[in-house]
Amino acid sequence: MVRAPCCEKIGLNKGPWTAEEDQILVSYIQQYGHGNWRALPKHAGLSRCGKSCRLRWINYLRPDIKRGNFTQEEEDSIIKLHEMLGNRWSAIAAKLPGRTDNEIKNVWHTHLKKRLHQNDAPKKRRPSGSKKKKSKPSNASSHPQSEAAPSQPILSQPSSSEVSSVTESGSNTTVDFSLESFPMIDESFWGDPMSSITSVESPNFYGNADMVQAQFPRDDDSVIGMGSDDNPGRSMDDEMDFWYDLYISAGGVEELPDFN
């Protein structure tokens, strides 16, 4: 196969995205969508390769991204799905709305794998709920994470308690989050996010998935329109459902919690 001639490295930015770049990308996609990733940066006026733009959008800027720590249910689901699917992160991500394959992959490699191997040994280091904030910009002066609010990422990352308090409503979860150690969820986080859509530093950015979805209609990028080797013509999602149903019917695992 022919290699993707991506990223002709002349004059294109690499490394962490700046707030300005994020805003340009978001604004462009909001207005025009992303028909052609390769052509997008040129049209949008970004000094990035299309691949980088796509990755940034998929993994970070997409409105339906669920930020914050993974819930116990999500982690359990990842483990179970990984048993079924192996390292098919995108397929696993398709079963966890709001989570990206990259994020799931990171979680797996950072602690789920160890958790399995070490029989869930207690972590020595980072206390649960404390999420590291990266602040290494290639051009530090313009990167928001290194500026006024170093502990505030470009896009708000609600703590696990914030996430769970929303995503687990209605489910009989037994997850025990010590809420006192986390700030209570701010109403403003889940409401009226689009009012601050132009301010990528706002903690409300992309808070309300429904509203955002209305303004950022997805072109269903979660569906992989190709069949597997065994099942050509069947979408990955269909195949996922097939194997999942089979697994459940065989008594493999209990039903996955509804994260919606």
Partner DNA sequence: AATCATGTCAACCGCGACATG
Partner DNA sequence: ACATGTCGCGGTTGACATGAT
Kindly list the residues in this chain that would bind DNA in the complex (CB under 7 A). 1-7, 13-17, 35-39, 50-52, 54-56, 59-60, 69, 87-91, 101-103, 105-107, 109-111, 114, 123-127, 130-136, 150, 221, 224-227, 232, 236
Q: Are 19 and 201 a contacting pair, CB within 8 Å?
A: yes
CB burial of 16-46 (b: ≥16 within 10 Å; e: otherwise) equals bbbbebbbbbbebbeeeebeebeebbeebeb
**Beta carbon of residue 111, minimum distance to DNA (angstroms, whole number):** 4
Cβ proximity to DNA: between 38 and 171 the closer is 38
Give min distance, CB of 18 to DNA, in A.
8
**Closer to DNA by Cβ: residue 20 or 210:** 20
What are the angstrom distances between the C-alpha of 28 and each of 31, 37, 39, 118, 242? Answer: 5, 12, 12, 46, 37
- At its nearest, how many Å lie between DNA and the CB of residue 117? 11
Nearer to DNA, 15 or 217 (CB): 15
CB of 37 or CB of 182, closer to DNA? 37
What span, in angstroms and rounded, lies between the C-alpha atoms of 57 and 51? 10
CB of 170 to DNA, least distance (A): 26
- The dihedrals phi and psi of 32, each to the nearest 5 degrees, come to -120, -10
